[in-house]
Structure 1
Amino acid sequence: MVSVRRSASAFVAVALGVALVAAATLLLASGRPQVPDRLARAAVVVQSPEAGASPDSFVPTRPWSAEVAADLVGKLTELPGVVAAVPDRTFYAQPLVDGHPVAVDSRREDAHQGHGWSSAQLGGLRTTAGDPPRRAGEVAVDRALGLPIGASVTLLTASGPEPYTVRGLVAAPGVHVADEVAAVLAPGVRAIGLLLAPDADPEQVARAARGVVGGDGRVLTGDARGALEPRGDARTRWIGMQVLTATAALAGFVTVFVVASTFAFTAAQRRRELGLLRAVGATGRQVRRLVYAEALAVGAGGGFVGLLVGAAPAPAMGRLLVDGGLEPATFAVRYSLWPVAVSLVAGPVIALLAVWSASRRAARVRPLEALREAAVEQRPIGRVRVTTGVLLVAAGIALSVGTATADEARIAAQYALYAVMALVAGATVLAPAVVGPVVRLLRSPVRRPGGAIGMLVRGGALTATRRTASIAAPVLLTVAFAVLVSGMVRTTTAAYAAGRADNVNAGWIVVPERGPGLSDAAVAETGGTALLPTTVYRTDPRALPANRPLTALGVDPVGFAAANRVLTVVAGSLGDLRGDDTVVVTAATNLRPSAPYEVVFADGRTVSLRVVAVVTDGSLPGDLLVPRAVVRAHDPSALTSTVYVRDRIGAPLGGRVVDVATWAAEADAAEDRLVWLFTLLLIGVTAGYGAIAVANTLLLAAAGRAADLRLIRLAGATRRQVVWLVTAESALVVLIGALLGGTVALVGLLSIRAGLAEQVGAPVDLVVPWTVVGAVVGLCLLLAVLASVLPTWRALRHRPGRSPLGTVG
């Protein structure tokens, strides 16, 4: 006895939720790492050892030194089936056109990379014109630059601009130089590609290679070579995975929430029908089975439709993710089995989970309900529901306290999201008990639009609190998540930018433009204090921080101390940071001055440094300090990230000059843009879904109230007055949901602000993007009014005298 009209709202909600889950899981399944084109012809690749980093750090592997790499190349070349073992060297190199670096797509990391020509054969790359570079000063460039053979071109490298002659053209981004030049610019090696004979078995060669490498590297074949994709692509792919995982999880939560409120509303409308079933002998268990069977039918049908709706636009959604920077350029949608299975199962599971509470309520309907004419609710919410709601609210408050005391922003954001989920669920469970006080609180504004209509609106909300709460639930969810997510992002961004600006003592800052960093020539032109970062590696498992890559900053100690307001030395002297064997560490290392500190630099060489000073944790924009000359000696391709200057100067080659506030706001601009896109995506999921759920529920409510509204017409109300009545009722429901949702979100935002203030050590302003909030509430209000007014106008299109209830009064 499934009613199409009653089930339409739940069916649409399930279908939309499964569509989101299907699209997200299909995109997730397609997000596998891709083998870089420049290594595609190497059936076996030997990679340098992992550095013990966490999966989301995206730092390169620990390199081999030139001597170790040469020894490995010799041994690997002698293996049966190996034609050649080619070390792949990568360094920074960017062509200059008209004296400026060529603007490149920031998503294409290889667009400003250089390689030795020998590594071109690992990807099957050949010159389309001219010859390969054989000597110093010769280069092969991308033919898209439009440079002819024999033309002069200036390459910007880490040391500065250098003249080259175009020897050949290739159909790939980046530049290629002679092998001896590449060996100077990139002495460390992180990958050795093996070119095999046509009849060689890659797996047999890989087993032999593992015997050669031992524990000093990894041997990769097949799809496992995707681990060699550029770090930028890996990071972008990881971000996309987080976005899609969160979208799928949120879609599932919102779907269960919305469908549960829809089934609860439907169960309330069917009290007389269910009471009639009980009157003719149906048991409570039989009623529950009936409700579960209807939910299963709705879930199965909605799941199948949702799968089709979600799978069809997946390729287009994948392209949008690439264009938005949430997936790398190599991303492509591939259909696979497990997302289809998950989507088909999700529909029935979501429907059964959502109908649990409604089935219990339906089973408690008494046979006497079949004789009642009034639709007034007879019972307050039960003790179990009150207990459940209180426990959920208590859990939300506890998670909010955890948010305020979390040490890391990422952990705080997770706690805040869980806190709002718990508070939203708790507020929804307790909503029928809250509707009465809220309506009384809003008594004055409700009564203004006409005495009789205001009385009816208020009386209807107070006598049908469960119905009002069920309709307001999607609004509560939508507003709560929109306010929380948008406010959290804006507040966090502003707080970290302000804290970053307060830490710097400078008038202006020079930052890179059209490139990943500044060359030494550009730094010399500024005359300021520069930060030259490089990645170093600790191999001692007892070291703190334990066995992970570290960011070492090459600095001038005097200038750095003057530009850093929070630098606090707790032991030793910063002035002793000189020579080629000194280092400054943080207190977290538990080291004292004169202690040895062994690291591996980018050239693969292990160097024992001597601690000359210890500074407080949080004093450095990195992990340790070394003299700038030490970084340049071991990392010829390192680029300066920032230069602090007192007075405004002219922009150097490849750089631009900004004030401190602009620099602080732009320091994480790329990440902030991706986070905001992620935020808008989540808001779009919840707002769009919630608004549609409001419309569906009100359409269902309007269909069930047609007789009541005709009766009001017979009592003397005009058609316009009845329309105004349902409009005011819809506005009241949206207002109640918005107030409850805003209150829930405010709890989460206040806890986030407290946590941020503790982290940055300064007061933090709460930033709420009212434009987003207003748009979400406005969308819910618009759809709610349309969903209630249009069916009402249609139902009352005939005069009361033509109503089957009687003649004109």
Structure 2
Amino acid sequence: MLRLALKTLRYRKGGFLASLIALFVGAVVVQGCGGLMETGIRANVAAQRLAAAPVVVTGDQDYPGHAVGTATDPMTERVLLDEDLVATVAGVPGVTAAVPDVSVPITSLAGRPAEAFGHGWSSARLAPYKLVDGAEPAASGEVVVDRGTARKLDLRPGAKLSASVRGVPHDFTVSGVAESRTAGGAALLFTDDEATRLYDRPGRIDDIGVLAAAGTDPVKLAAAVDKAVAGRGAQVLHGNDRGIAEFPDAISGKQNLIPVAGAFGGLATMVAIFVVGSTVGMLMQQRRREMALLRTTGVTPGQLRRMVMAETFVIAVLAAALSLAPGQAFGRFMYDILVDQGLIPGEMIFSQGFVPRLTGFGATLFAALAAAFIASRRVSKVRPTEAMAEATLQTRWMSPIRGVLAFLFLGGATALAIVTASVMTGPIAASTAGPAAMLWAVGIALVSPGLCRWLAALLRWPIGWFTGLSGRLAMLNASVRKVRLASAVIPIMLATGLATALIYLQTSQEDANSRIFAEGLKADAVVSSASGALPPSLVDTLAGLPEVSGASASVSSEARLETVVKPGKGEDDLTTAREVEPSRIDLQGVTAAGARQTLGRPTVQGDYSRLTGDSIVLPTDVLKDRGKHIGDQVRLRWGDGEASTMTVVGSFDPPRGFGYAMVPADALLPRTTTGLLPQILVKGERGVSTEELKTAVRKAAGDLPGVAVVDRQEATVAHTESDQSGRVASYLLASVVVGYAVIALVNSLIVATAERRGEFALQRLIGSTRSQVMWMMSVEALVTALVGIVLGTGVAAGSLVPFGMALDGSVLPSGPGWIYPTILVTAVALTFATILFPTSVALRAKPVEAAVAP
């Protein structure tokens, strides 16, 4: 049968090419998504500044003290180490030195915004940095700069350098220039005392670089150090994992990449399996007469299935083999896009090894063989005497297996829609609305022959009335050949439905975020900096201006409200030995004196002016759910892992599904990784225009580098444009999935139309002209596009309507109105092009020759 299969492929180049393209593209997409998943799981980050240390000790980012069996995300800010751990690590056998390290954010250099970090001189040997000019820093105010920065700013020993630390300007004298072969990025090296002062975290450090004796096994040394620091909130790293200590953003990048890659891979795999199944099934339908003829000549059902399976196996193996190099390139392409848009850090090493390639190969082979088996099963089971009659008609399409699958997919989609509309709130509803779109698509596709028949019947009379005899003939073709029509409609439905759903899910979230930001902003002006940092003292400076009625810092982070479920052994309420159930909540740090004037959401109880020290203002529904009242205490785990007992001093009503809490900015800033103040909100006095206010604020900011002052509308626009991560992920996912569906659309329609050469020739022999045939096919293209658009719109509505109800109570999605018409026009144009072009090619042959051509 393998020899026969290979011979049949030689004479079916069109079908062979169509199957090869569908399988090849599917394998490429699945492998690329698998590469992203492997990259996220491994989260390898090569050490740069710590490259000389074989072992690195850093803060443990795992959530402390949660109940057994309770899954929770890691801490969102850098977890710091106690300084006394340095002596503990230094005492481990095999350790020659334990070098503490801190990273001081440098936000501007020589009056220009910059992304640099300062460190103590003693940590220079961890890179290592070596002096190439001048001397090491010996006193406060002296600094060694890296060679790249020295060249860029034309700095030499003795030169003066102005630098801002977390937005606060400082002046230094360059004592020397150093170079490292491994460290990248701008770096300033201070004396250890000055680095500690600028770091401003008393008794705390970022990490410890462990230098080992010659010949020491890093793995064994890491195990020994881990044992020595056990229970101290520390994590011991070696190999590629050391880079996480330098680039803690890799942890959040991992958390971002794994779900994105999972969504990419899962959705792309389902689309690939479905598209491949549809393509192979359509090709099998076209060969029904050939299979029927083989049955009449004595070929058994098993032999027929084995022949088809052998053909498909050969094509699948060839497609998988061809996809290996493009699959890796495609994965790297998506990785580069995510890095460019800031969704993941560029320091994370892209990995695509054996497992993603095997997954792509397995998915391709499974989809192809499963589709071939299902498609060949019906023809192989008919009796030889009925085979030729069976080949001429497409009467039966529903089978018990197909019915069960359709019920499961449509039932699952309905369940997700109900959960989205009635249980989910806010942006989190997208986590169920997105998968629902794919379930609707698969379920509708499984029953598409029946739906196509009904829709064709509805369109038959109006289209036939306006298009004449050729149009009526086209509608008869659509009514009789419902299975073939469904094969052509499915890619259109996938492309329009998934594109509409995925794009409008994102635009609806963006509009909701923008609206909520604008509603929550009462300030007349927002002050920010191109460097990303403002000096905290600027808040009081602006609040004292005669044009200003109130000013508030604005900084965000993430925390957990904890409920103790097991007391533990300690008496201190902050002990991490106890087990807790954490509940995620976003934090907004504000200034008590200016919060009431600048925030657009007033308190329901209490007052923002009491928001000082260890205090918190919680959403009203959170207070109700926890049975708390004003004056009660709650346990809060900050993003850096520290826990505090907070006193509730107020409550407010945030938008449904967008809950967050207010805390003092001066309490939140030291508990963020960088300690940067990104924004200050300013409210003008009554009678002061916005332009007057902005002018006064700019004057008060003086010569601070990169300061920008914008009004409320400009701030809303900037806020919308700044949130790129979700937008990029959604649009990239839509592009990949819809792009594949479009390829399948073009592929299937060209093959389906080219296969009808004999039919076109017969029409011309009985008197039809070329223009009449083309007009008939134009009507068929219109019907195919309309049916596909109707079904695709149903897929999108099944996802977007419940999502809108969960997001803001609207049944219509938000976003640019031109998106949906653009999708429809594109679908119609592709349908017409892929049907009419092969039709025109087929009509070039003489009718007599085309009628007898195989």
Same fold (TM over 0.5): yes
Q: 1:182 aligns with which of 175, 184, 195?
A: 195
> 2-side partners of 1:45 and 1:300: how far apart?
45
1:307 matched to which residue of 2?
Answer: 324
Residue 848 of structure 2 corresponds to residue 796 of structure 1: no
> 1-side partners of 2:395 and 2:364: how far apart?
33
2:571 matched to which residue of 1?
Answer: none
Q: Which amino acid aligns with 1:79?
A: V
Q: 2:31 aligns with which of 4, 13, 22?
A: 22
Q: Secondary structure at the match of 1:38?
A: coil
2:456 matched to which residue of 1?
Answer: 439
Moved more, 687-696 or 197-206: 197-206
Q: CA deviation at 1:178?
A: 1.9
Q: 1:474 aligns with which of 482, 485, 491?
A: 491
1:108 matched to which residue of 2?
Answer: none
Q: Secondary structure at the match of 1:39?
A: coil
**Contact 2:106–2:118, Cα closer than 8 Å, also in 1:** yes
2:144 matched to which residue of 1?
Answer: 140
Q: 1:155 aligns with which of 163, 181, 206?
A: 163
Aligned length: 783
> 1-side partners of 2:312 and 2:401: how far apart?
23
Q: CA deviation at 1:535?
A: 7.5
Residue 649 of structure 2 corresponds to residue 638 of structure 1: no
Q: 1:564 aligns with which of 584, 588, 599?
A: 599
Q: Which amino acid aligns with 1:562?
A: Q
Q: Which amino acid aligns with 1:199?
A: G
Give the direction of change, closer, same or farther, for the CA distance of 1:313–1:745 in structure 2 (3 Å limit): closer
Q: CA deviation at 1:476?
A: 0.7
2:795 matched to which residue of 1?
Answer: 744
Q: CA deviation at 1:614?
A: 4.5
Q: Which amino acid aligns with 1:739?
A: V
Q: Which amino acid aligns with 1:124?
A: P
Q: Which amino acid aligns with 2:155?
A: P
Give the direction of change, closer, same or farther, for the CA distance of 1:96–1:223 in structure 2 (3 Å limit): closer
Q: 2:207 aligns with which of 188, 191, 200?
A: 191
Q: Secondary structure at the match of 2:49?
A: helix
Q: Which amino acid aligns with 1:213?
A: V
Residue 709 of structure 2 corresponds to residue 657 of structure 1: yes
Task: Give the TM-score of the pair, scaled to structure 2.
Answer: 0.83
1:733-769: CA deviation from partner (whole Å, max 9, x where unpaired): 12211221112101211111001016xxxx5862254
> 1-side partners of 2:797 and 2:643: how far apart?
52
1:79 matched to which residue of 2?
Answer: 92
1:427-463: CA deviation from partner (whole Å, max 9, x where unpaired): 1111111113322333466336641211111111011
1:503-562: CA deviation from partner (whole Å, max 9, x where unpaired): 23222222x222233212433443212235578898545999846898765543242133
- RMSD of aligned residue pairs (Cα, Å): 3.5
1:576-633: CA deviation from partner (whole Å, max 9, x where unpaired): 444x5555556266555665667788999x896562525257499854523x555678
Q: 1:338 aligns with which of 355, 366, 381?
A: 355
Give the direction of change, closer, same or farther, for the CA distance of 1:148–1:312 in structure 2 (3 Å limit): closer
Q: Secondary structure at the match of 2:392?
A: coil
Residue 479 of structure 2 corresponds to residue 486 of structure 1: no
**Contact 2:499–2:823, Cα closer than 8 Å, also in 1:** yes
Q: Which amino acid aligns with 2:603?
A: T
**Contact 2:107–2:533, Cα closer than 8 Å, also in 1:** no
Residue 243 of structure 2 corresponds to residue 206 of structure 1: no
**Contact 1:443–1:458, Cα closer than 8 Å, also in 2:** yes
> 1-side partners of 2:639 and 2:432: how far apart?
38
**1:734-773 alignment, distance < 5 Å:** 734-757=785-808, 766-769=813-816, 771-773=818-820
> 2-side partners of 1:521 and 1:656: how far apart?
17
Q: Which amino acid aligns with 1:136?
A: S
1:294 matched to which residue of 2?
Answer: 311
**Contact 2:554–2:589, Cα closer than 8 Å, also in 1:** yes
**Contact 2:63–2:74, Cα closer than 8 Å, also in 1:** no
2:44 matched to which residue of 1?
Answer: 33
> 2-side partners of 1:430 and 1:189: how far apart?
62
> 2-side partners of 1:267 and 1:612: how far apart?
68
Q: CA deviation at 1:220?
A: 2.0
**1:230-629 alignment, distance < 5 Å:** 230-311=247-328, 315=332, 318-334=335-351, 336-372=353-389, 375-379=392-396, 381-382=398-399, 385-386=402-403, 388-407=405-424, 409=426, 411-443=428-460, 446-447=463-464, 450-510=467-527, 512-527=528-543, 528-532=551-555, 539-540=574-575, 546=581, 555-570=590-605, 574-578=608-612, 580=613, 582=615, 584=617, 587=623, 611=647, 613-616=649-652, 618=654, 622-626=660-664
Q: CA deviation at 1:794?
A: 2.9
Q: Which amino acid aligns with 2:247?
A: P
Q: Secondary structure at the match of 1:342?
A: helix
**Contact 1:593–1:612, Cα closer than 8 Å, also in 2:** yes
> 2-side partners of 1:230 and 1:412: how far apart?
31
1:173 matched to which residue of 2?
Answer: 186
Residue 236 of structure 2 corresponds to residue 219 of structure 1: yes
2:775 matched to which residue of 1?
Answer: 724
Give the direction of change, closer, same or farther, for the CA distance of 1:446–1:637 in structure 2 (3 Å limit): closer
Give the direction of change, closer, same or farther, for the CA distance of 1:544–1:584 in structure 2 (3 Å limit): farther
Q: 1:666 aligns with which of 718, 727, 730?
A: 718
1:661-692: CA deviation from partner (whole Å, max 9, x where unpaired): 44334336443x23332233222223322222
Give the direction of change, closer, same or farther, for the CA distance of 1:390–1:770 in structure 2 (3 Å limit): farther
Q: Which amino acid aligns with 1:81?
A: G
**Contact 1:81–1:205, Cα closer than 8 Å, also in 2:** yes
Q: Secondary structure at the match of 2:186?
A: coil
Q: Which amino acid aligns with 2:718?
A: E
Give the direction of change, closer, same or farther, for the CA distance of 1:219–1:311 in structure 2 (3 Å limit): closer
Identity among equivalent pairs (%): 27
Gaps of 5+ in 1: 105-110
2:124 matched to which residue of 1?
Answer: 120
**Contact 2:523–2:712, Cα closer than 8 Å, also in 1:** yes
**Contact 1:567–1:616, Cα closer than 8 Å, also in 2:** yes
1:168-216: CA deviation from partner (whole Å, max 9, x where unpaired): 3345413232211221232221311112232333334334323432210
> 2-side partners of 1:635 and 1:743: how far apart?
45
Q: CA deviation at 1:50?
A: 3.3
Residue 832 of structure 2 corresponds to residue 785 of structure 1: yes
Q: Secondary structure at the match of 2:195?
A: helix
Q: CA deviation at 1:272?
A: 2.4
Gaps of 5+ in 2: 65-70, 180-184, 544-550, 563-573, 685-689
Q: Secondary structure at the match of 2:98?
A: strand
Q: 1:45 aligns with which of 47, 56, 72?
A: 56
**Contact 2:78–2:248, Cα closer than 8 Å, also in 1:** no
Q: Which amino acid aligns with 2:746?
A: A
> 2-side partners of 1:448 and 1:370: how far apart?
37
> 2-side partners of 1:499 and 1:197: how far apart?
57
